[in-house]
């Protein structure tokens, strides 16, 4: 093969042969670490040989270790080969050097792995250090335990091919790429002694979330928080192509990350075409020196901040690690390059079970690690002592056993929310009421609670918190070094990562956002929910953690000024598709219920909580005591706003959400005026999932309770926040008697743009005059002989005419009539 062919196939990586002086000045001066000697290098390399052997064995084999040249048989190869080999050697390299920092310099280190499908490279190290065995006794350190461990990878009932909640020491679900860096930064906030090594694959670095997350260090106050050491693992290739970072030369890399605000060090393996033992040796020394330099820089920045003399715009260290893709694996397969090419990304020898040439290559590959020098199959502890020499002696400091990663929950000190309630019939903004409560939470919990907000808190009416705290942006001299509890950044992905990392290391956070745009992170929420589901159901050692808490405000019904683009309640639908036992969706109808829901969510564990509320002033429909009972129940009949106390109703009107609940209550008043003998029951739902089918959610109403509220056979008119299909999906298997035909469900039907507030409701057919029409039609369909039938047509015509008049008024005046503003209702 010619040199040109080799370069085209990825045998060599282009490097800038020399750097301009201006760029050289940007590179940090890495001092020589005098502790790096031949014994240290030997310890590092021995650990990596063992880790790489196990990673390869996990992908291919059902047992081990052995002398592959003599003992390996093709039937020992798994029939289904899964896992990503290409990143594994780089992961074992980083883990070895992280262990060295823990062992020699008493660093508290956790790793977060962006290349999630490199799980073999992570799990192998965790087994070597004893963490897998500690949490899973079946995978002991004898021959049988190791055989079970090797076989378990990507095997039914075993470990998945990516890092997940079952992986000790890990808090990041390695399924969807892009979030590792932000999660790492969330993990070290208010954890002053923790250093999280964030390993970012160069494929992952192409994602938008990672691009924004490189700014995360600008929100880290070194006086109160730990540090992230980002390592960009630039091995040059993704699944079938070069990576963007892999094609960037060192000049471009250094200037890019210097511009982000880092000190960027480059550790470069060099040209694989000229690889040698000396080169393997050199990268160990280079990385050891660089990791020690990074640790020293972190401690220097922290010491300055903690002495009261913080460095302005501290330049935190980061490392770009260039190693060959699939390093130590097969160089060529079938005449095509594998090592240092995209072909190393997943399984380098996919046909080893049936192809004799690939089988021989697999034997040679595994034999190159000299496994019997690393493991003694006859010993009760199969791992030879020299393999684990690099590990910290204190097992609780090892990467898989750091308690902050699985058992660090710090519950909030929460006052009784009733102290923050307001009187019935008072006009109050739900979000302003929540803001008062959050102000107290911040004052009581100055180191265990944070708010992560992509939208300006003042816009969402939560700004009272600024009477007790400030924002926390370290590159802004007005907010730097003040311990602010609020992080605002116009990157939902980054803030979601912060929230996840902060929560999974034991603290509690809140993510308020405009309703229309919180859906930007719905796939991240899904990944987290899967992590929690596995943690709760499939591990015994992960302890409960605070819930992820979201507030959606600036909701669709009050986005008539911003227009159509700001009207999207779709996150509700996304959450309804997640495992129902870990999802909670609350739609409080007023300020008191909003504060009650917030208080509950901040105390809860292991859930994804969504509160949908309004920032606009509205009526408190319930006393504080009534609100408390209502939120505990999740749903109740509002007898005081029904006719005849809601007994023996002809029709049930149900509101779910702030604005639509007001319309339901107004509809009942209209029916009381125009059809005084009509028996109307008003129901409100604050906990959406009470409507779910029994057995699918802990809060789901029993059939008998459901019927006691909605009756067995009377028409039910529901005006809901969000898409009607969301509520219909919950009701699909619900309802006795005549079944679904008696339920009329209204909600947002993608109508309305720049208009008036009431017009938004009217155009989506959930205004008060639409609700009364639906009620009369439902009564007639249920009982054509009902007394109201005599007047029904005249009444319906009047309500239709009223809607047309309101439409004309809005077009002429640009506002709604005064009587369609917030209204106080009398009971009964």
Give the neighbor-by-neighbor strand order of the sheet with 194-201. Answer: 108-113, 194-201, 227-233, 317-322, 263-268
Nearest Cα residue to 55 out of 27, 82, 21, 25: 82
- Contact, 682 vs 668, CB < 8 A? yes
Same domain, 146 and 216: yes
- The span from the CA of 711 to the CA of 654, in Å, is 12
Q: Is the peptide bond before 65 cis (omega within 30 degrees of 0)?
A: yes
User: Residue 514: which of 450, 457, 597, 441 has the closest Cα?
Assistant: 457
Contact 428, 590 (CB under 8 A): yes
Would you place residue 824 in the very low, low, confident or very high pLDDT band (cuts 50, 70, 90)? very low
Question: Length of the chain in residues, anyone?
Answer: 828
Which pair of structure tokens corresponds to residue 706?
């459901």
Residue 682's SS3 state is strand
Task: Show the tokens assigned to 708.
Answer: 């006691």
Based on the fold, state whether residues 372 and 247 are members of the same structural domain. Answer: yes
Buried b (16+ CB within 10 A) or exposed e, 400-410: bbbebbbeebe
Same domain, 32 and 81: yes
Contact between 263 and 227 under an 8 Å Cβ cutoff? The reply is no
Determine the Cα–Cα distance for residues 403 and 361; give it in Å rounded to an integer: 41
Q: Do 769 and 795 contact (CB within 8 A), yes or no?
A: no
What is the C-alpha to C-alpha distance for residues 518 and 213, in angstroms, rounded to an integer?
A: 17
Q: Last residue of a domain, which of 405, 436, 456? A: 405
Q: Among residues of the chain, what percentage have pLDDT more than 70? A: 95
| pLDDT at residue 85 in the model | 93
Alpha helical stretches, state H, 217-355: 244-247, 250-260, 277-306
Residue 228 lies in a domain: yes
- Residue 274 confidence (pLDDT): 57
Tell me what the mean pLDDT of segment 796-816 comes to: 95
Instruction: Tell me the pLDDT band of 8, cut-offs 50, 70 and 90.
Output: very low
> Are 107 and 44 part of one and the same domain?
yes
- Does residue 297 sit in the same domain as residue 340? yes
Q: Are 555 and 599 part of one and the same domain?
A: yes
pLDDT of res. 5: 41
- Residues spanned by the domain of 272: 3-15+25-405
230 and 272 together in one domain = yes
Say whether both 562 and 690 belong to one domain.
Answer: no
CATH number (domain holding residue 118): 3.40.50.970
- Average pLDDT on 270-288 reads 80
Supply the DSSP string of 24-61, one letter for each residue. Answer: HTTS------TT--HHHHHHHHHHHHHHHHHHHHHHHB
What is the rounded CA–CA span in Å between residue 138 and residue 648? 61
| Long-range CB contacts for residues 283-288, cutoff 8 Å, separation at least 24 | 283/93, 283/323, 284/41, 284/44, 284/45, 285/36, 285/41, 287/93, 287/97, 287/319, 287/321, 288/33, 288/36, 288/40, 288/41, 288/44, 288/97, 288/100
- pLDDT band for 277, please (50, 70, 90 cuts): confident
- Neighbouring CB atoms inside 10 A of 472's CB total 25
Residue 635 resides in a domain: no
How far apart are alpha carbons 760 and 810 in whole angstroms?
11
The per-residue pLDDT for range 128-148, each reduced to its tens digit, is 999 999 999 999 999 999 999
Any domain includes 393: yes
Average pLDDT, integer, range 455-464: 89
Structural domain contains residue 633: no
Residue 735 pLDDT greater than 80, yes or no: no
Judgement on whether residues 704 and 607 belong to the same structural domain of the protein: no
The 8-class DSSP code of residue 109 comes to E
| Distance spanning both ends of the chain, measured CA to CA | 90
Q: 375 and 440 share a domain?
A: no
Split at pLDDT 50, 70, 90, the class of 684 is very high
* 259 within domain boundaries: yes
Please identify, among 612, 627, 643, the residue that sits at the C-terminal boundary of a domain. Answer: 612
Cα–Cα dist 99/91, whole Å: 12
- Give the pairing type, strands 716-720 and 651-656: parallel
| 224: pLDDT strictly greater than 50 | yes
Beta-carbon contacts of 243 under 8 Å, excluding residues fewer than 6 positions away, are 202, 203, 205, 206, 234, 236, 237
pLDDT confidence of residue 740: 59
pLDDT tens profile 28-64:
999 998 899 999 999 999 999 999 999 999 999 999 8
pLDDT at 825 over 70: no
Label residue 580 by pLDDT band (50, 70, 90): confident
- 798 domain-assigned: yes
The pLDDT of residue 9 is 43
User: Residues 141-166: what's their mean pLDDT?
Assistant: 94
Query: Does residue 428 share a domain with residue 401?
Result: no
Which residues have CB under 8 Å from 682's CB, separation 6+?
Answer: 637, 638, 641, 642, 646, 652, 653, 654, 655, 664, 665, 668
Please tell me the total count of domains within the chain: 3
Q: What is the pLDDT of residues 638-652, one digit of tens each?
A: 999 999 999 999 999
Residues 504, 447 share a domain: yes
Between CA 730 and CA 468 the distance in angstroms is: 41
656 with 602: CB under 8 angstroms?
Answer: no
In this prediction the pTM is 0.94
Average per-residue pLDDT for the chain:
92
**Alpha-carbon distance 200 to 320, whole Å?**
10
CB-based contacts of 432, cutoff 8 Å, min separation 6: 461, 462, 464, 591, 615
Domain of residue 708, CATH code: 3.40.50.920
Residue 4: pLDDT above 80?
no
Q: Which residue has the higher pLDDT, 363 or 276?
A: 363
- Out of 405, 436, 463, a domain closes at 405
Is 786 contained in some domain?
yes
CA distance 153 to 148: 9
Instruction: Please report the pLDDT score of residue 823 as a whole number.
Output: 53
Is 675 inside any structural domain?
no
Query: How much is the pLDDT for 269?
Result: 85
Asked whether 749 and 766 are in contact (CB, 8 A), the reply is no
For 622-671, write each residue's pLDDT tens digit.
Answer: 999 999 999 999 999 999 999 999 999 999 999 999 999 999 999 999 99
Say if strands 108-113 and 680-685 run parallel, antiparallel, or are unpaired.
Answer: unpaired
pLDDT value, residue 827 = 53
Helices (H), 38-166: 38-60, 68-71, 88-105, 119-128, 131-135, 143-152
């Amino acid at each position: 093969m010619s040199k040109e062919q080799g370069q085209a196939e990825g045998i060599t990586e282009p490097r800038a042969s020399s750097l301009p002086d201006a760029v050289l000045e940007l590179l940090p001066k890495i001092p020589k670490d005098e502790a790096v000697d031949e014994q240290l290098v030997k310890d590092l390399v021995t650990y990596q040989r063992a880790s790489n052997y196990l990673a390869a064995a996990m992908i291919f084999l059902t047992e081990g270790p052995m002398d592959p040249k003599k003992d390996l048989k093709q039937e020992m190869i798994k029939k289904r080969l899964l896992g990503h080999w290409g990143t594994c050697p780089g992961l074992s390299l980083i883990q070895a050097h992280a262990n060295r920092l823990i062992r020699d310099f008493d660093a508290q280190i956790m790793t977060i792995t962006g290349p999630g499908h490199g799980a073999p490279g992570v799990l192998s190290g965790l087994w070597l250090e004893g963490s897998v065995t500690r949490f899973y006794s079946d995978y002991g350190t004898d021959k049988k335990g190791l055989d079970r461990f090797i076989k378990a990878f990507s095997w039914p009932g075993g470990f998945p091919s990516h890092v997940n909640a079952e992986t000790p020491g890990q808090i990041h679900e390695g399924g969807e790429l892009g979030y590792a860096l932000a999660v790492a930064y969330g993990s070290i906030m208010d954890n002053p002694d923790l250093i999280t090594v964030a390993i970012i694959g160069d494929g992952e670095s192409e994602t938008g979330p990672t691009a924004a997350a490189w700014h995360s260090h600008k929100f880290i106050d070194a006086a109160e928080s730990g540090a992230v050491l980002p390592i960009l693992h630039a091995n040059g290739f993704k699944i079938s192509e070069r990576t963007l970072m892999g094609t960037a030369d060192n000049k471009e890399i250094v200037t890019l990350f210097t511009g982000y605000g880092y000190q960027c060090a480059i550790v470069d393996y060099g040209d694989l075409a000229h690889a040698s033992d000396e080169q393997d040796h050199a990268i160990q020394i280079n990385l050891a020196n660089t990791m020690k330099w990074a640790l020293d820089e972190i401690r220097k920045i922290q010491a300055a901040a903690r002495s009261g003399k913080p460095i302005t715009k501290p330049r935190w260290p980061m490392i770009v690690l260039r190693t060959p893709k699939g390093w130590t694996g097969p160089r060529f397969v079938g005449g095509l390059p594998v090592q240092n090419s995209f072909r190393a990304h997943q399984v380098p020898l996919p046909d080893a079970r049936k192809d004799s040439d690939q089988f021989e290559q697999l034997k040679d590959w595994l034999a190159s690690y000299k496994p019997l020098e690393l493991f003694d199959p006859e010993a009760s502890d199969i791992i030879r002592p020299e393999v684990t020499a690099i590990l910290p002696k204190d097992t609780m400091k090892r990467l898989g056993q750091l308690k902050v990663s699985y058992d660090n929950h710090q519950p909030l000190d929460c006052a009784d929310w009733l102290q923050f309630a307001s009187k019935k019939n008072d006009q109050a903004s739900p979000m302003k009421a929540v803001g008062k409560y959050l102000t107290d939470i911040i004052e009581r919990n100055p180191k265990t609670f944070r708010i992560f907000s992509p939208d300006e808190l003042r816009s969402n009416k939560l700004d009272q918190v600024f009477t007790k705290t400030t924002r926390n942006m370290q590159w802004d001299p007005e907010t730097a070094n003040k311990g602010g509890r609020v992080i605002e950044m116009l990157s939902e992905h980054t803030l979601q990562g912060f929230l996840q990392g902060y929560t999974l290391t034991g603290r509690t956070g809140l993510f308020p956002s405009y309703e229309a745009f919180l859906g930007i992170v719905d796939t991240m929420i899904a990944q987290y929910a899967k992590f929690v589901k596995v943690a709760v159901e499939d591990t015994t050692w992960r302890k409960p953690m605070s819930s992820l808490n979201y507030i959606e405000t600036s909701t669709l019904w009050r986005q008539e000024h911003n227009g159509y683009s700001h009207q999207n309640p779709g996150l509700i639908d996304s959450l309804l598709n997640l495992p129902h036992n870990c999802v909670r969706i609350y739609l409080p109808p007023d300020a008191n219920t909003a504060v009650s829901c917030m208080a509950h969510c901040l105390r809860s564990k292991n859930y994804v909580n969504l509160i949908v509320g309004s920032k606009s002033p509205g009526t408190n429909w319930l006393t504080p005591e009534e609100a408390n009972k209502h939120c505990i129940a999740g749903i109740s009949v509002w007898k005081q706003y029904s006719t005849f106390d809601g007994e023996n109703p002809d029709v049930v009107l149900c509101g779910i959400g702030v604005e639509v609940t007001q319309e339901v209550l107004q509809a009942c008043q209209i029916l009381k005026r125009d059809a005084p003998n009509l028996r109307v029951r008003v129901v409100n739902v604050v906990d959406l999932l009470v409507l779910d089918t029994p057995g699918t959610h802990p809060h789901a109403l029993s059939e008998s309770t459901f019927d006691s509220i909605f009756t067995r056979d009377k028409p039910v008119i529901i005006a809901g926040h969000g898409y009607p299909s969301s509520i219909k999906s919950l009701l699909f298997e619900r309802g006795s008697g005549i079944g679904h035909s008696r339920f009329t469900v209204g909600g947002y039907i993608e109508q309305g743009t720049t208009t008036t507030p009431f017009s938004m409701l009217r155009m989506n057919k959930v205004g008060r005059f639409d609700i009364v029409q639906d009620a009369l039609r439902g009564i007639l369909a249920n009982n054509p002989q009902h007394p109201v039938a005599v007047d029904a047509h005249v009444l319906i015509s009047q309500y239709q005419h009223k809607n047309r008049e309101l439409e004309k008024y809005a077009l002429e005046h640009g506002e709604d009539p005064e009587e369609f503003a917030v209204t106080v209702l009398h009971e009964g």
